[in-house]
Structure 1
Amino acid sequence: MNLLGNIIWLVFGGILAAIAWFLAGLILCITVIGIPFGLQCFKIAQFVLWPFGKEIELGHFGVGGLLLNILWLIFLGWELAIGHLVIGALFCLTIIGIPFGLQHFKFAMLGLIPFGAKIR
């Protein structure tokens, strides 16, 4: 089921979403200050490309990760999380869209706290 969900995901927007996250990572990596944030965008792009069958573990960060998560949340995270929550809610309006909506809820969680998150 995970393979089928991932293939449908790729065809109907997963590739575009992964490209968007990858381009955001490239833009953030232009400056030295943005490199840690760009690396998180690359991690999220990889997850967005093939999300079914993967889970997120939050909370494995130290003081540096906490500070970077706070900066991420202030400047990028809350907008991304709201966007994914809205898209996920729209997908959940239909029975067929529920699995895809649940993936967007995972992206919202990762969009809030990417530093220290483990994708397995």
Structure 2
Amino acid sequence: MRIIGNIIWIIFGGLIMAIVWLLAGILCCITIIGIPLGLQAFKMAQLVFWPFGKSVDYSGMGTGSVILNILWILIFGWGLALGSAVLGLVYCITVIGIPFGLQWLKFAKLALFPFGAQIIDIQ
């Protein structure tokens, strides 16, 4: 089921979103100051490209991660999380869209708190 869900996800926008996040990460990594932001964009691209069968672990957050997440929320995170949450709720309106809506909600949480989060495979 994960493979089928991921294939459908890629066809209906996942590939485009992953490419956008990769490009955003590359642009952020042009400057030294932007490298941490670029690394978080690469993390989001990884989750957006193949979301089914993956989970996000937030247990590794330390003080530095919390401070960086607060700055991220103020600059980028609130808009990214809001957009993803709205998409998630729209997809959840239909029964067929619920699995995809849940993936968008998972992405909304990562878009809010990317520093210190790790993407793990669910077995």
Q: CA RMSD in A?
A: 0.9
Q: What letter is aligned with 2:38?
A: G
Give the Å deviation of 1:63: 2.0
Q: Aligned pair 1:21/2:11, yes or no?
A: no
Answer yes or no: is 1:37 the counterpart of 2:37. Answer: yes
The CA distance in 1 between the partners of 2:59 and 2:23, in whole Å, is 26
TM-score normalised according to structure 1 size: 0.96
Question: Unmatched 5+ residue regions in structure 1?
Answer: none
CA distance in 2, matches of 1:8, 1:61: 32
Distance 1:14 1:114 in 2: 19
1:71-110 counterparts in 2 under 5 A? 71-110=71-110
In 1, Cα distance between the equivalents of 2:26 and 2:32?
Answer: 12
Per-residue deviation at 1:70? 1.1
Which 10-residue stretch deviates more, 72-81 or 24-33? 24-33
Q: CA deviation at 1:82?
A: 0.1
Q: Which runs of 5+ in 2 are unaligned?
A: none
Runs of 4+ in structure 1 over 3 Å off: none
- The letter of the residue matching 1:117 is A
CA displacement at 1:32 relative to structure 2: 1.1
Query: Structure 1, residues 8-39: CA drift from partner, whole Å, max 9, x if none?
Result: 00111000010111111111112211100100
Residue number in structure 2 paired with 1:11: 11
